Amino acid sequence: MSSLDRLFAKLRQQGRKALMPFVTAGDPDLGFTAELIGELEKRGAALCEVGFPYSDPIADGPVIQASYTRALAHHIKVPAIFDMLRDVRSRVKFPLVGMVSYAIIHRHGPAAFVQHAREAGLAGLIVPDLLVEESSELAHLCREADLSLVQLVTPTTPRPRAVQIAQSSTGFLYYVSVTGITGERDRLPPQLLDDVRWLRSQTELPICIGFGISRPEHVQLLAPVADGLIVGSAIVRRLEQATSRPRAEVIREIGDYVASLVAALPGASE
């Protein structure tokens, strides 16, 4: 079992759900990212998704695009991200998952990237622009390295294809809650619960829902059908303040926000 398999098996046994914050590596710098990841674990996050900055966003809304741009403006490089993750991994217990474009993996060489990801302590990779039909090589490399390869299902994915994606994914399945780009939303689609219930009937993989989740009421709505909830833009939006306010203060406020979402999860007060 991978570390993600063990995490979700333990949570299911305890009747609990995972909150998975997303942070951009290197915004405003890698030292801040490392501190923030440690704070997120202390505040009850079950795992953390770390975004590798990329110049050509795939499904990222303006908030995460701007965050990636800020990080790239400081010349953040992949080897430096791996060094930061390796250091953080020695100090946190929860799993870290990389969100990375396949263009970055291809440029570094899939075998080398997977090896470095594993050495840095990543538990898995989310590769949003990797087609399931073209995933066999990376999937094989990840299996050999005991690294989960998480793939995405969207509201517009045809159901036969969604089953195919679920069959090729490991660790968990990332369900995109809305059609469109990342970003905070006031309301989530009314058919979302039914769509996730159907997907759950097709796979035993844990299902984590992302895109648009930003409020405790979103967590309360989706937790009954999900194994985990991913929160990105609402956290990343606060990173911009790290250059104009005391860093410790920004980290504490992000921690308070994440703790409020964790508190909305079933079993959080037990």
Q: How many structural domains are present in the chain?
A: 1
Q: How far apart are CA 26 and CA 75, in angstroms?
A: 9
Residue found by looking up tokens 């990212």 in the block: 33
Active site residues: 49, 60
pTM of the model: 0.93
Is the residue at 171 inside a domain?
A: yes
Specify if 270 maps to a domain: no
Q: Give a yes or no: residue 94 inside a domain.
A: yes
C-alpha 174/C-alpha 194 separation (Å) is 16
| Spatial separation of the C-alpha atoms in residues 167 and 107, rounded to whole Å | 27
CATH number, position 94: 3.20.20.70
Task: Evaluate whether residue 246 is within a structural domain.
Answer: yes
For 39, the domain range is 3-262
169, 157 contact by CB (below 8 A): no
Asked whether the CA dihedral 106, 111, 112, 114 is positive or negative, the reply is positive
Per-residue pLDDT of the chain (270 residues), as tens digits, is 789 999 999 999 999 999 999 999 999 999 999 999 999 999 999 999 999 999 876 656 678 888 999 999 999 999 999 999 999 999 999 999 999 999 999 999 999 999 999 999 999 999 999 999 999 999 999 999 999 999 999 888 999 999 999 999 999 999 997 654 443 444 555 688 889 999 999 999 999 999 778 889 989 989 999 999 999 888 999 988 888 899 999 999 999 999 999 999 987 654
Tell me, yes or no, whether 268 lies in a domain.
Answer: no
pLDDT of residue 216: 92
